[in-house]
Structure 1
Amino acid sequence: MTYSIIARDARTGEIGIAVASRFFACGAIVPHVGATSAVATQAFVNPLWGIEGLSRLEAGEAAETVLADLVQRDGGQAIRQCHMLDAEGRFAAHTGAGCVDWCGHLTGEAHSVAGNMLTGPEVVQATFDAYEEARDLPLPDRLLHAMRAGEEAGGDKRGRQAAGLKINRGERYAVLDLRVDDHADPLAELARLLEVSRERYVHVADSFATSDNFSGSTDRAPIDAAIRAAEERRRAAGRPSLSQATDTAEA
């Protein structure tokens, strides 16, 4: 009922997951991303595969070891699907024999794709190939580019409803966590949210606390300057704001 991609950007060290499905709020339950690793748990989803799996990967266990143990312990393993990335950059994937066709996965050196209840194997292949080819894009855009290619190849055979995008930049929290829970074109809406995030949010996120700097940046001036510069570039390019936020007029 879902297809997803996990990737690590070798240039920035960022780790991300993108997911789409004809299943409500898939972005809330499928992607689990940590500082050094990631898990996507789907099909007849077992959330504990994501929670426990990520915890163990972050502690340094190998992806193959963690996944094999989850499969062995779960009486429902035949209807589970999962792929994961460990701290050493190794991928492991499981597609249970009872997952609904078409179902399968594909892993590479820097990314993996898995899906079930798809129109055919071309969905996974197109997603995988599109990510590989879009080397010049930032990780969030590259993931969405890949997901759109999968959708154009057929996507979820039941249709569209939800999508999610989660990016981690080496901390215990996600620096970007976007979800579209119920929408006729969730990937397009996710792309809009990504653009809106670049108007203000990403500049604030650059000031967030890190494990090396507990206070982060507490100076608003550079943040405000970055926001103004981004707005000026957008207006100079003739691009309107995509935000749907409202302003309260002062009395």
Structure 2
Amino acid sequence: MTWSIVARDPATGHLGIAVASRFFAVGAAVPFMRGGIGAIATQAFVSPLYGTDGLTLLAEGHAPDAVIAILTDRDDGCQQRQMHLIDGQGRNAAFTGEKCVEWAGHLVDENVSVAGNMLAGPRVISETLRVYKETASAPFAERLLAAMEAGEAEGGDKRGRQSAALKIYRDQDYPWLDIRADDHPDPLGELRRLYAVAQERFLHVVETMPTRANPHGLTDRRLIDEKIAALETARIAEGRPSPSFATPLKPA
């Protein structure tokens, strides 16, 4: 019912998952991540335990292929399931059960894997991987979105479109970016819009949040307010409309 890309940016160690499906709220079911630990996509006849327990196993030091073996060996339904994952070191692995609905399969490459089931054909995942690898100079989020758009252009989920999600974790247990289109006729296009909205304010605010290395974060909010105001002024001066649906900002 789904295809997804799971990746690690080798330059930063950031982890990301992008996913799309003809299924409601795929972002609530497929992606699981912990900063610095790993990223797991569990799909087809989804087992959330592949995500939750898989992250625990990665945190304990198990390699991705061992995680797959442990999770599938204890699961009588594993042949209806699919999963792929990467750890914080860039080691990755994938599994596609023999009973997954065709077309189903996966591709694993350095620091990235793509997997899907109920797809229009194998080119969905091969094009997703190709575009991801060919956009290495682009920002991580944009690479993931471009890759998924390439897969959609090859037919994507053979049943149609409904939802999509993009998650990126840096080195913390909370996401740097977590956006979803749960029920939309063009979910990947909606993710593009949401990513553009996030760049107006949200991602700048995230940069100020406390981390383990700096539990205070940025304590002077005037600095971030001034930066956001300057970006907004520049946008208006250039005549660029905001992609946001938010109502006009009222004075505090």
Interval of TM-score (by shorter of Structure 1 and Structure 2): over 0.9
> TM-score, normalising length from structure 1?
0.96
Aligned to 2:34: 34
Alpha-carbon offset, residue 55 of structure 1: 1.9
1:17 matches 2:21:
no
Contact 2:107 2:125 (C-alpha < 8 Å) held by counterparts = yes
Alpha-carbon offset, residue 208 of structure 1: 0.9
Q: Give the RMSD, CA atoms, in angstroms.
A: 1.3
Aligned to 2:50: 49
Contact 1:85 1:92 (C-alpha < 8 Å) held by counterparts = yes
Alpha-carbon offset, residue 108 of structure 1: 0.4
Specify whether residues 176 and 248 from structure 1 end up closer, same or farther in structure 2 by C-alpha distance, changes over 3 A only. Answer: closer
SS for the counterpart of 1:174 is coil
Aligned to 1:75: 76
Matched residues in 2 for 1:186 and 1:114: separation? 18
Aligned to 1:86: 87
**1:21 aligned partner, one-letter code:** S
Question: How many residues in Structure 1 have an aligned counterpart in Structure 2?
Answer: 250
**1:81 aligned partner, one-letter code:** Q
Contact 1:166 1:174 (C-alpha < 8 Å) held by counterparts = yes
Aligned to 1:238: 239
SS for the counterpart of 2:41 is strand
Structure 1, 53-62 or 194-203: larger mean CA deviation = 53-62
Matched residues in 1 for 2:108 and 2:114: separation? 6
Structure 1, 18-27 or 223-232: larger mean CA deviation = 223-232
Contact 2:7 2:17 (C-alpha < 8 Å) held by counterparts = yes
Aligned to 1:218: 219
Matched residues in 1 for 2:189 and 2:217: separation? 33
Alpha-carbon offset, residue 142 of structure 1: 0.7
Alpha-carbon offset, residue 218 of structure 1: 1.6
**2:33 aligned partner, one-letter code:** V
Contact 2:10 2:90 (C-alpha < 8 Å) held by counterparts = no
**1:28 aligned partner, one-letter code:** A
Matched residues in 2 for 1:133 and 1:237: separation? 31
Matched residues in 2 for 1:44 and 1:162: separation? 17
1:157-176 mapped onto 2 (5 Å cutoff): 157-176=158-177
Aligned to 2:106: 105
Alpha-carbon offset, residue 112 of structure 1: 0.5
Structure 1, 210-219 or 44-53: larger mean CA deviation = 210-219
Structure 1, 207-216 or 14-23: larger mean CA deviation = 207-216
**2:34 aligned partner, one-letter code:** G
Aligned to 1:120: 121
Contact 1:6 1:85 (C-alpha < 8 Å) held by counterparts = yes
SS for the counterpart of 2:200 is coil
Alpha-carbon offset, residue 185 of structure 1: 0.1
Alpha-carbon offset, residue 12 of structure 1: 2.4
Alpha-carbon offset, residue 53 of structure 1: 0.4
SS for the counterpart of 2:24 is coil
Q: Structure 2 unaligned segments of length 5 or more: list them.
A: none
Contact 2:106 2:116 (C-alpha < 8 Å) held by counterparts = yes
Q: Structure 1 unaligned segments of length 5 or more: list them.
A: none
Matched residues in 2 for 1:61 and 1:226: separation? 43
**2:134 aligned partner, one-letter code:** E
Matched residues in 1 for 2:235 and 2:147: separation? 25
Contact 2:86 2:111 (C-alpha < 8 Å) held by counterparts = no
**2:14 aligned partner, one-letter code:** E
Alpha-carbon offset, residue 229 of structure 1: 2.8
Specify whether residues 161 and 60 from structure 1 end up closer, same or farther in structure 2 by C-alpha distance, changes over 3 A only. Answer: same
Alpha-carbon offset, residue 91 of structure 1: 0.6
Alpha-carbon offset, residue 213 of structure 1: 1.5
Contact 2:167 2:177 (C-alpha < 8 Å) held by counterparts = yes
